[in-house]
Amino acid sequence: MNEAFLKGTRKHLPKAEITFDRYHVKSHLSKAVDEVRREEAKHHHQLLANTRYMWLKRPANLTEKQRLVELLAQPLQTVRAYTLAQQFDSFYELSDPDTAEEYLRPGSPRSTVAALSRCRSSPACSRITCQA
């Protein structure tokens, strides 16, 4: 999914359809959440200390001790990035192509991509990238 791959594919295989699989998209989203958490931990160390893997796991896989309930109530950019990543994960459950397209269209009220872009403009979220 890197830019060189996309550019090369478009140049040499112009009719090819590029598909972004769930694993790689989720991997990019997890990295983005972790980068936001790291940056924010510099200012909120006590609150975010030892929470890295909690943000990277699916909510269903968290142990009772790891539940994020208290952290999710905090006004943190990490919470925003995590929430957006979880919302985007539901994209792969959509069966209607029109709804899926709206999910990706920048400017759409339901667009997670647009929300990630807005989050990216925040100093704490400056490293989030989304390639749709």
- pLDDT at position 13: 93
Domain ranges of the chain: 26-125
Low-confidence spans in the chain with pLDDT less than 70: 1, 106-132
Burial class for 52, CB neighbours closer than 10 Å (0-12, 13-18, 19+): middle
Residues 61, 21, 50, 117: is their CA dihedral positive or negative? Answer: negative
